[in-house]
């Protein structure tokens, strides 16, 4: 008698829950609930399958998750969502491969090594890298940049960089300056644009590396990599690119751009998971590793990429990165770039019509990546970001974006700006809702 009554009450209660709407704020969608019933009852011992004999009456607990409308526009920080193949690849590796690449000879270890090998080959295809073994995987682009700069530069060397670099470049160079490396900081204009001739003038006979961000994470400005690459090749100087914002977002050919060192993160436009990245180093350059040990080889005999991949690798993450790159190869980076240009054009056209708003960088969508940083007169960026999140369910990023030097160049230091960075999976409707929210806040 007791169990049927319990089931009836549970069903009625469930229907009542699903029929309700709870107004948290105007972006909340109809109440959506996931719930579990935990029950126990006092029954004669041995009666009632699934019940425990104990001294309590029916215990009922309902767990609810309110799923609100969410518009994710922070892809310059990390892309979301990922292609379905990325999720599936990671799960498959965790469940069915599981071995340690390069550590054993059994089939699971060999399968794990194959995962890493295939991801490396896919990355080489995407960036026209002739020898995939010149690619070393890292946990992010910051590690890649640190390994490249600290592994190549020595006291007395000179490096040329820009005033709009991310802290992933700035902080290692500041450290190296204290150790005797000379650094020239070439100033970009207020829109984040850099003239190649300014880079050329900064090169001296001691210059070993020119390192530039391919596209600013503040201005969105795409720097003239092809022209700078030609200058570096003519001057016999290594050309290094921080491609955190461009790898996967626009075509990059290391041969055509004369890139000697390419640093990239996996979790942004390459659609890989967080905790992945890599860098490519041209033939003839062997950076000193940041981390030693973790392999069975003698240090004297180790070569790329093993020399820079100490310890157990993030096989599931690298496999997911490989799946993201395969998605890009299939979908075509050019197609993605065209779609994102259209989104940025829509945002710029709308925001530039609001008199209280100042957009950082060029208003030409072809000269920038898929991000727009802006300020609203009389309002703090942090306030704007919180309101977009709390009142409209829209995720953006506000502040200095780990690039205070860029904000000093823009004149937005120390408050920074609010940055919207849509991605390939955002819809036109989502962009319209974002623009509507900004108009409401600006008024």
pLDDT band at 294 (very low <50, low <70, confident <90, very high): low
CA–CA distance, 240 with 148 (Å, rounded to integer): 9
Main-chain dihedrals φ then ψ at residue 319, nearest 5 degrees: -65, -40
DSSP one-letter string for 178-241: HTT-EEEEEPP-TTS---HHHHHHH--TTEEEEEEESB-TTT-BBP-HHHHHHHHHHHT-EEEE
Q: How confident is the model at residue 104 (pLDDT cuts 50, 70, 90)?
A: confident
Which of 293 and 183 is assigned the larger pLDDT?
183
List the one residue out of 331, 348, 362 whose CA is nearest residue 215: 362
Q: CA–CA separation, 341 vs 1, rounded Å?
A: 65
∠307-313-315 over CA atoms, to 5°? 135
Q: Is 374 helix (H, G, I), strand (E, B) or coil?
A: strand
**Tokens 């041995």 sit at which residue?**
46
pLDDT(24) > 90: no
Phi, psi of 359 (to 5 degrees): -95, 135
pLDDT grade, residue 361 (50/70/90)? very high
Q: Does 132 have pLDDT greater than 60? A: yes
**What tens digit of pLDDT does each residue of 221-251 get?**
999 999 999 999 999 999 999 999 999 999 9
What pLDDT sits at residue 105? 83
User: CATH 3.40.640.10 in the chain, residues?
Assistant: 84-331
- Dist. CA 406–CA 412, nearest whole Å: 9
Average pLDDT, the chain: 85
| Average pLDDT rounded to a whole number, residues 99-104 | 84
Determine how many CB atoms are found less than 10 A away from the CB of residue 36: 7
The predicted structure's pLDDT at residue 36: 35
Whether CATH 3.90.1150.10 fits 72-81+334-442: yes
Mean pLDDT for the stretch of residues 24-50: 34
Task: Tell which wins on pLDDT, 417 or 46.
Answer: 417
Please answer whether residues 217 and 401 qualify as being in contact, where contact means their C-beta atoms are separated by less than 8 angstroms. yes
**For position 68, what pLDDT does the model report?**
57
- In this predicted structure, the answer to whether residue 146 has a pLDDT above a threshold of 80 is yes
| Joined tokens for residue 124 | 């080489």
Per-residue pLDDT at 48 exceeds 60:
no
- Confidence (pLDDT) at 298: 60
Q: How far is CA 167 from the centre of its chain?
A: 15
> Which part of the chain has CATH 3.90.1150.10?
72-81+334-442
Q: Which CATH class is domain 84-331?
A: alpha beta
b/e per residue 394-432 (b: at least 16 CB within 10 A): bbbbbbbbbbbbbbebbebeeebbbbbbbbbebeeebbe
Instruction: Give yes or no for residue 443 having a pLDDT over 70.
Output: yes
The pLDDT of residue 296: 58
User: Where residue 39 falls among pLDDT bands split at 50, 70, 90?
Assistant: very low
| pLDDT at position 66 | 33
Confidence band of 412 (pLDDT split at 50, 70, 90): confident
Rg (CA), the chain: 26
201 phi-psi bin (left φ>0, alpha ψ -120 to 50, beta other): alpha
Contacts of 222 (CB under 8 A, 6+ apart): 214, 215, 246, 250, 367, 368, 369
Query: 49-95: per-residue pLDDT in tens?
Result: 333 333 333 333 333 333 357 999 999 999 999 999 999 999 999 99
Q: Is the pLDDT of residue 188 over 70?
A: yes
d(CA 169, CA 213): 9
Please report, rounded to a whole number, the percentage of residues in the chain having pLDDT higher than 70. Answer: 83
Higher model confidence: residue 350 or residue 400? 350
């Amino acid at each position: 008698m007791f169990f049927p009554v319990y089931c009836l009450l549970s069903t009625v209660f469930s229907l009542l829950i699903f029929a309700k709407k709870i107004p948290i704020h105007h972006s909340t969608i109809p109440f959506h609930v996931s719930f579990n019933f935990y029950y126990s009852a006092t029954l004669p011992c041995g009666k009632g399958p699934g019940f425990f004999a104990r001294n309590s009456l029916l215990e009922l607990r309902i767990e609810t998750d309110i799923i609100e409308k969410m518009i994710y526009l922070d892809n310059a920080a990390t892309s979301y969502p990922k292609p379905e193949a990325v999720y599936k690849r990671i799960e498959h590796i965790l469940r069915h491969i599981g071995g340690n690449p390069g550590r054993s000879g059994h089939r699971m270890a060999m399968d794990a090594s194959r995962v890493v090998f295939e991801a490396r080959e896919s990355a080489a295809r995407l960036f026209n890298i002739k020898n995939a073994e010149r690619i070393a995987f890292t946990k992010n682009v910051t590690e890649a940049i640190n390994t490249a700069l600290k592994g190549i530069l020595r006291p007395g060397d000179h490096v040329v960089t820009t005033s709009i670099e991310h802290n992933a470049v700035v902080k290692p160079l500041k450290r190296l300056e204290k150790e005797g490396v000379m650094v020239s900081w070439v100033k970009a204009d207020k829109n984040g644009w850099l003239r190649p001739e300014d880079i050329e003038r900064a090169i001296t006979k001691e210059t070993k590396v020119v390192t530039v961000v391919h596209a600013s994470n503040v201005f969105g400005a795409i720097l003239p990599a092809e022209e700078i690459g030609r200058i570096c090749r003519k001057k016999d100087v290594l050309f290094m690119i921080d491609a955190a914002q461009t790898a996967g977002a626009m075509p990059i050919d290391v041969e055509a751009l004369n890139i000697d060192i390419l640093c990239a993160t996996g979790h942004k436009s390459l659609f890989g998971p967080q905790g992945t990245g890599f860098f490519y180093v041209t033939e003839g350059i062997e950076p000193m590793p940041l981390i030693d040990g973790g392999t069975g080889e003698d240090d004297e005999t180790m070569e790329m990429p093993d020399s820079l991949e100490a310890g157990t690798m993030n096989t599931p993450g690298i496999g997911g990165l490989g799946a993201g790159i395969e998605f890009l190869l299939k979908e075509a980076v050019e197609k993605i770039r065209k779609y994102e240009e259209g989104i940025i054009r829509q945002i710029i056209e709308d925001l530039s019509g609001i008199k209280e708003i100042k957009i950082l960088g060029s208003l030409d969508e072809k000269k920038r990546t898929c991000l727009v940083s802006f300020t609203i007169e009389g309002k703090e960026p942090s306030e704007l970001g919180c309101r977009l999140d709390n009142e409209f369910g829209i995720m953006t990023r506000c502040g200095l974006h780990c690039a205070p030097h860029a904000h000093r160049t823009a004149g937005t230091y120390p408050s920074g700006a609010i940055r919207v960075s849509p991605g390939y999976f955002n819809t036109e409707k989502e962009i319209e809702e974002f623009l509507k929210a900004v108009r409401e806040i600006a008024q």
